[in-house]
Structure 1
C-alpha cells in the first residue's frame, strides 16, 4: 500500500465573502450552480438546523439506548422523502435511509448520536449537571450531536440541489449508534450494508491544535476490539464437602465458593499486572476495563453467582489485538477454574484499521479551501471567557486556539501525526468509521470544535467546559454548519465529476488489490450473522416506582 500519495496544494485561500445581510442570496463563483443552491439552502435554514441540533443534544442518550435520537432522525428523513429501514442489521437504534434521483453514483454518510455516561453538563459556563439529571448521567463529549447534524444537514442540502438541478444519483444515510463502543459500523459492514457504495464521507469534530480543519491523509484510525467476559458460579455446593459444616449442614456454616466476585477481581488485577507483558513496548495502544455486573449476591453468605468485565483495546494492528485477547482468554480460563466458575467470552465489536484515500481527501479539501475555515463570534468568546473565569483563569481577549480558524492541508496534518508516532505505525486512536473505508473510497473530514488556549500559569481546564460549549449554539454552530457546507459541495462533486470519482475508486482498487475481495482487502472481523450486543446492562435511564433513575451510579 503506497504511502507517498498525490500532490496537494498547501496554500490556504482566504475566507469566502460574507453575505451583506441575513437571508440575502450569495454568489460563490468558484462553485457550480448546484453547489451554490446547496449552500444557499443551508444559509436559509441554519437557524432551524440549530434547533434540530439542540434537540439531539438535549436527548443525551448513551450507547445502544439512543431511542429518541434515532427516532428523530428516522422521522425527519422520511419527511424528506428517504426510504428508511429502521433497526438495520438488527440494531434497534440504527437505521439505513436511501433517496435516489435516478441512475448515478451511490454516496454514503452517517449520523452518530450516542452520549457518554458520567459527563452530564448543562450548556452554561459553570460546572453543573443538566437540569433533572445526576452528574453520572450521559452528556455529549465529542460531540456526536453536532457530528450527526453536520452530516445530516450536508446530505439534505445535496439532495435539495440534486432535485433542483436534475442531478441523478443515490444518497444513503446511516444512523450509527454506540460509536463510543465502536459498535454499529462493524455490524452494518458484516451484514453487507456498505456493499454497493461508490464513495463515503466521514465527518468528525476535532480539537488537536495541529490538525484543525482538514482531512486525514495517511494516518487513519486504528483497530478497536472489545470483548465481555462472563463468570458464573452455578454449582457452589460442589466447592467443598458440606458434611464438614458441622452437626447441622447449612450453606451459612460451610466454606463459601469464591464465586463470581473473586473471578472478576482476579481477572481485573491479574490482567492489569500482565499488561506490560502482553505486547512489545512500542507504538501507542490502550487497554481499558468496564465492570457492568459484579456479584449478584447482595451481602449474604452465598457465593456470588454472576459477574462481567469488558475489555476494550485500541492498537495499531489486528495482530496486536489478537495477541492481547488470546492472553485475556487464557487468564479467564484459569481464573474460572480457581474461583469455581464457568466462563464465556463474547465479542462486543471488532474493527479494522482505516484505509486512506488521497483522491477524496484532495477533492474535499479543495472545497474546504473555497469555503474557508469556521469563524467564532463575540458570543462564543464571551462564553469561553466566563468559563475561564469560573476556573480561576484570567479571561483572555482571544480565548480560542489560533488554529481553530485556519485550515490545515492534509499533508501538513500528516507531518504533525508523524512526529508523535513510530515510523511503522499508520493507525492511531480508534473510530469505527474505518469500516466504510474497506467498502468504498472514504474521506475523513474534520472541522475544529471550540478549543481553549492553555492557561499561561499551567492550570488545567475541566472537561466540563468543553462539554458545556457543545450545547451552546454560539460555540457549536460554526463547527457543524461548516461541516455541512463542505459535505454538501463534496457530495455534488462526487455526483457530477465522474473523473474525480474514478480517481478515488482507482486508488481504492490499488490499495485493496482489486477492490472488495481483492488480494489486500481486509474482510469484516465480525461474522455475517453477528447479533449486536444490545442486551447487556449498559448505562441508561430507567423508570422505577421512585421515578426515572440513572441505572449506573
Structure 2
C-alpha cells in the first residue's frame, strides 16, 4: 500500500516529534512509575497540568468537579477546535517494574497500582501528537484551537460521561481517540461500524446503623454481655448475599456470546478488628458491559432487587451510588478514514533488535523459551478498518450493533470521533506456554518495547489533527455524517443525551497511595519500617 502524501505542516509536525522523541520516552516512564489508580491520579494529573502550562496552554484544573481531571486550550486564532485527550489511571494489583523479571516497582508491593493497557503510553502519545500539531500550527500560521482533556478513572468508565454532560466536548470539529491494542483484528486500524457498547457501573453500599432493631426487646442486645449472644448479621453479611445472589443469576441474564460481562469489586471498609459486633458498612461495585442501554437497565433492575433483598435479610439498609453511565458508541466513517489515512502515512510501529532482545529475555524469565521472533507478527501490519470490521463481525450476531466497552463512546455523541488503535508490544504464544500478566505490564514500561507504539501513535494523532485543521472538505464531511447519524446533530431525533445524573464518585474508598510513619506506600502496606 502506497503511503498517502503529507502536507508541509504535517511534515513539520513529524520533524517536531523526531526532536522530542527522547522526551516522549522519558515522560512515558514517568507516568508508568506513578502507577496511580482511578480517581486518585494526583501526581499524574499535576504532571500534565504543569507541562501544558509550560507549553503555553491555559488549563482548567479539576474540570467537571473531578480533582484529577483537567481541560487545556491553546489557540492560534480563528479556526476549528480539535479535541484530544490523555488517560493516566493504572490498575490495582498490577505493580510491575519496567524490568525483564517479575518484581514490583521499588518500595512497593505487587498489590499497588500498575499500568496494564498501558494508559501511561496512551496519554503521552496523545500529548506528543498535541504538541506536534501546535508546533506545526505556529510555524505555518494555521488558525484554530487545540483542546486537550485529562481523563481520570477510565478503568471504571469515570470521567468522560461527566465531562460530556458538562459540555467539555461541545463545539469541537472532531475528536481523536487513540488506544493501545494487540488483539486481532483491532490492531493498527480504526473502528468502522462496531464501536464499544454501553457501560453502567455502580456501588451498592450496605449500612447496619440500627442493629438493635434486629431482635425483639429482651431477646438480646446490640452489644451483648456474652460474645456468644445474638447480634444483627450486619453489612458484611448483606454484601456476601448480594455477591452470591448476583453471581448465581449471571447465566440467566447474559448470553454466552457478544462480549457481555458483569464484574464486581469489593471496596473494603478496613474492619480488621474481629469483635462480636455487626459490620456497620460494606460496599460492592459492579461494572456492566453490554451492547445496549436497555440491557444495562435490565441488569441494573436485577441488581437492585438483589440489594434490597440482601439488606432486608441482614438487618441493613442499602444505597446505590452511580460510578458511570456511559452510552454506546456512534460510528463516523469519515473520521475513521482520516485516522487510518494518517496511520497509513506513518506506517505501523516497528520493533528493533534491542526490543527483540528484551522480549527474549522476558520469555526466559517468564518460564518460556527464547524465540527468533518473540512478538506477535500482526503488531507490524496495518489492517484496513473495513477488513477489521468484517473479522470482528464473524463472532457477533447480526442484531448486535456494539461490542466491548470503553467510555470514549460518550465523546462520539458530541462531535465526530475517530477511534484508532496502534499495536502495543505483546509476546506471541510459544509451545502452548501462557504468559503471566506481569509480562505485558513490563513490556508497557520498558522504553525499547513501548516507545515504538508511542511514536507511531503520536505521529498519527498529529497528522489526523492537522488534516482536520487544514482540510475543510474533510472536516465538513465528518460533521455532515455526524448530523445525519444523529438526525440533526446534538439534540437531534436519533441523538442520545448524556446519562450522567450523578456527582463525580470521588469520595468512595478507592485504592490509593498513602503516607504514614512508615513512609509513602500503597494502602496495603509493603513497608515494614516503624
Fold agreement, TM-score > 0.5? yes
**Which residue pairs with 1:492 in the alignment?**
466
Cα distance in 2 between the residues matched to 1:377 and 1:297: 50
Cα distance in 1 between the residues matched to 2:273 and 2:73: 50
**Which residue pairs with 1:13 in the alignment?**
2
Q: 1:508 aligned to 2:487? A: no
**Which residue pairs with 2:207 in the alignment?**
232
Query: In 2, are the aligned partners of 1:117 and 1:539 still within 8 Å (CA)?
Result: yes
Query: In 2, are the aligned partners of 1:355 and 1:434 still within 8 Å (CA)?
Result: yes
Cα distance in 1 between the residues matched to 2:5 and 2:240: 62
Indicate which of 310, 316, 322 corresponds to 1:341.
316
**Which residue pairs with 2:372 in the alignment?**
397
Alignment of 1:304-319 (within 5 A): 304-319=279-294
Query: In 1, are the aligned partners of 2:52 and 2:59 still within 8 Å (CA)?
Result: yes
**Which residue pairs with 1:9 in the alignment?**
none
Provide structure 1 residue ranges, at least 5 long, that are not aligned to the other structure: 1-11, 15-28
**Which residue pairs with 1:24 in the alignment?**
none
1:203: Cα distance to partner? 0.3
1:283: Cα distance to partner? 2.9
**Which residue pairs with 1:33 in the alignment?**
8
Aligned length: 524
**Which residue pairs with 2:34 in the alignment?**
59
Cα distance in 2 between the residues matched to 1:498 and 1:440: 16
1:396: Cα distance to partner? 1.1
CA distances 1:19-69 after superposition (whole Å, capped 9, x unpaired): xxxxxxxxxx92111111111010111012211111111111111111111
Cα distance in 1 between the residues matched to 2:270 and 2:512: 20
Indicate which of 309, 326, 331 corresponds to 1:356.
331
**Which residue pairs with 1:365 in the alignment?**
340
Cα distance in 1 between the residues matched to 2:91 and 2:228: 44
1:275: Cα distance to partner? 1.5
CA distances 1:103-147 after superposition (whole Å, capped 9, x unpaired): 111110100001111001111111111111101011111000000
Query: In 2, are the aligned partners of 1:233 and 1:305 still within 8 Å (CA)?
Result: yes
1:339: Cα distance to partner? 0.8
**Which residue pairs with 2:447 in the alignment?**
473
Query: In 2, are the aligned partners of 1:260 and 1:295 still within 8 Å (CA)?
Result: no
1:241: Cα distance to partner? 2.8
Provide structure 2 residue ranges, at least 5 long, that are not aligned to the other structure: 526-530
**Which residue pairs with 2:497 in the alignment?**
523
Cα distance in 2 between the residues matched to 1:502 and 1:279: 40
Query: In 1, are the aligned partners of 2:257 and 2:396 still within 8 Å (CA)?
Result: no
Query: In 2, are the aligned partners of 1:155 and 1:488 still within 8 Å (CA)?
Result: yes
**Which residue pairs with 1:546 in the alignment?**
518
Cα distance in 2 between the residues matched to 1:122 and 1:479: 19
Cα distance in 2 between the residues matched to 1:424 and 1:464: 37
Three-state SS of the structure 2 residue aligned to 1:140 is coil
Q: 1:536 aligned to 2:508? A: yes
Query: In 2, are the aligned partners of 1:541 and 1:550 still within 8 Å (CA)?
Result: yes
1:421: Cα distance to partner? 1.4
**Which residue pairs with 1:8 in the alignment?**
none
- Are the structure 2 counterparts of residues 249 and 163 from structure 1 closer, same or farther at C-alpha, using a change threshold of 3 Å? closer
1:177: Cα distance to partner? 0.5
1:249: Cα distance to partner? 6.8
Cα distance in 2 between the residues matched to 1:245 and 1:93: 48
CA distances 1:214-243 after superposition (whole Å, capped 9, x unpaired): 111111111111010011111111211342
Larger displacement relative to structure 2 (289-298 or 438-447): 289-298
Query: In 2, are the aligned partners of 1:296 and 1:307 still within 8 Å (CA)?
Result: no
1:394: Cα distance to partner? 2.1
- Are the structure 2 counterparts of residues 159 and 340 from structure 1 closer, same or farther at C-alpha, using a change threshold of 3 Å? same
**Which residue pairs with 1:135 in the alignment?**
110
Cα distance in 1 between the residues matched to 2:278 and 2:272: 7
Query: In 1, are the aligned partners of 2:207 and 2:282 still within 8 Å (CA)?
Result: yes
Query: In 1, are the aligned partners of 2:192 and 2:389 still within 8 Å (CA)?
Result: yes
**Which residue pairs with 1:4 in the alignment?**
none
> TM-score normalized by structure 1?
0.92
CA distances 1:323-371 after superposition (whole Å, capped 9, x unpaired): 0000111111121111111111010101000111100111221122222
Larger displacement relative to structure 2 (104-113 or 203-212): 203-212
Q: 1:436 aligned to 2:411? A: yes
CA distances 1:461-480 after superposition (whole Å, capped 9, x unpaired): 11111110111111001101
Alignment of 1:248-397 (within 5 A): 250=225, 252=227, 254-279=229-254, 283-293=258-268, 296=271, 298-397=273-372
Indicate which of 401, 418, 432 corresponds to 1:458.
432
1:444: Cα distance to partner? 0.4
Cα distance in 1 between the residues matched to 2:257 and 2:439: 34
- Are the structure 2 counterparts of residues 531 and 307 from structure 1 closer, same or farther at C-alpha, using a change threshold of 3 Å? same
Larger displacement relative to structure 2 (461-470 or 280-289): 280-289
Query: In 1, are the aligned partners of 2:426 and 2:443 still within 8 Å (CA)?
Result: no
Larger displacement relative to structure 2 (98-107 or 282-291): 282-291
Cα distance in 2 between the residues matched to 1:392 and 1:109: 40
Cα distance in 2 between the residues matched to 1:230 and 1:47: 47
